[in-house]
Structure 1
């Protein structure tokens, strides 16, 4: 009887473990810090490149701009208002992107710029799946551009084609909507693994002003997808 009782108790404990998965979900007042690899992948479209307000045409065609991706360290800080609702701040090390010519300027790197994309989001976590905790979020992104420089290859080409020298590059900062889906997988009460995908509505105007006052410009919708894989700590 004692052996049967022990077997029954052990079986009940194992059943409870599998049928009622442990929950490590957040509580009001918790903080979560996450850090990992973040890829910014632009899904850009561009208006035609203009020179002094007119379409830039070198051989009867048109030109546009594209933007290369970049990977950096991304970090998030989230404060939980309730067990489901949190406020998250995204930060990162600076991303550097090349602006590439398309159309008549295809194959020519035009300029390089560095940006920081701080994003503040309101998050909702679904806590009914045990250790696996998916979430969605929406918020506001403010992208700051700096260290903009014309590429030496482009400077040489434009001087040879149109006699343009100098070249001061400026990209406008951007404010736009940010949407996010992702999940935390709780390893224990503190440590977790995270993956997320964001979409950021990011628009900017790029201008290159030359020594003689000539301005080459284009409006660019960068609209990047931001992919992150990270480790996190809850406290």
Structure 2
């Protein structure tokens, strides 16, 4: 509901004073989104129950376990209002894309323990439970453990080079991004814990956004545009299961690379 209110507020800002507006441009197209987002090491305690093991193992989260958000394509659209010949305000929206989230395990000790036989013999300080847990954790390296749907409306103030008569018009923009994400564990994510329902909460984020692009004006109404955008996005994530001792946290810093291609019409 908050994200809907935000979008309506941004749209109202752009549409305010429509009677005196010089020009509106509506764009429709596609975007390739590379989040460039790997979480910090997950910290806290976790409960896992490897298949065949009689009880859940509750242990500190090993260092080097991270979550990596994968690239995705998305359908996008924007509405822009001009303020004179060179300035415009633009609201960029789109259908929320769903990103795969893979587990990454960068821990040499886990990799070494995973090679041992659970029946023994074991090095000093190593138990059968330690080996079983290491094998279980290592087996999920690279697997998709969650799906992440993101809603990220972004408002820009753009400066357009050239004049209204120019065929080619490069532009640059600066603005603010709001990102809301909704995570859902996959079957693999549930199986990783095997200890009840996995619950994940992710915080919202506000941050600076930048873009640069160029528009080719086919005639006085139609144009095509290609652009690149990025934003500062930081979210905190909290994961827990039915086991009260299983709570762990991490943070994401997104530095997304967003390539967009759109077709637009001026009104």
TM, length-normalised to structure 1: 0.80
What aligned pairs does 1:183-222 form with structure 2 within 5 A after superposition? 183-213=214-244, 214-222=246-254
Deviation at 1:152, TM superposition (A): 1.0
Q: Spell out structure 1 runs of 4+ moving beyond 6 A.
A: none
Is the CA contact 2:92–2:153 (under 8 Å) kept in the aligned structure 1? yes
Is the CA contact 1:50–1:217 (under 8 Å) kept in the aligned structure 2? yes
**Residue aligning to 1:69:** 71
State whether structure 2 residue 142 is matched by structure 1 residue 107.
yes
Total equivalences in the alignment: 200
User: Aligned match of 1:137 in 169, 173, 182?
Assistant: 173
TM, length-normalised to structure 2: 0.71
Give the greater-gyration-radius structure (CA). Answer: 1
Is the CA contact 2:99–2:147 (under 8 Å) kept in the aligned structure 1? yes
What aligned pairs does 1:158-173 form with structure 2 within 5 A after superposition? 158-159=193-194, 164-173=195-204
Deviations 1:59-103 (A, max 9, x none): xx5211110111111001110111101000000001101221112
**Residue aligning to 1:56:** 61
- Structure 2 unaligned spans of 5+: 1-20, 47-58, 107-139
- Structure 1 unaligned spans of 5+: 1-27
Find the residue that maps to 1:166 and give its secondary structure: coil
- After superposition, the CA RMSD in angstroms is 1.9
Q: Supply the distance in 2 between the matched residues of 1:36 and 1:73 (Cα, whole angstroms).
A: 6
Is the CA contact 2:38–2:69 (under 8 Å) kept in the aligned structure 1? no
Find the residue that maps to 1:155 and give its secondary structure: helix
State whether structure 2 residue 88 is matched by structure 1 residue 86.
yes
**Residue aligning to 1:229:** 261
Deviations 1:146-199 (A, max 9, x none): 2x211111211222xxxx321111211111110000011000000000111001
Is the CA contact 1:119–1:178 (under 8 Å) kept in the aligned structure 2? yes
Deviation at 1:108, TM superposition (A): 2.2
Q: Supply the distance in 1 between the matched residues of 2:253 and 2:157 (Cα, whole angstroms).
A: 24
Is the CA contact 1:55–1:62 (under 8 Å) kept in the aligned structure 2? no
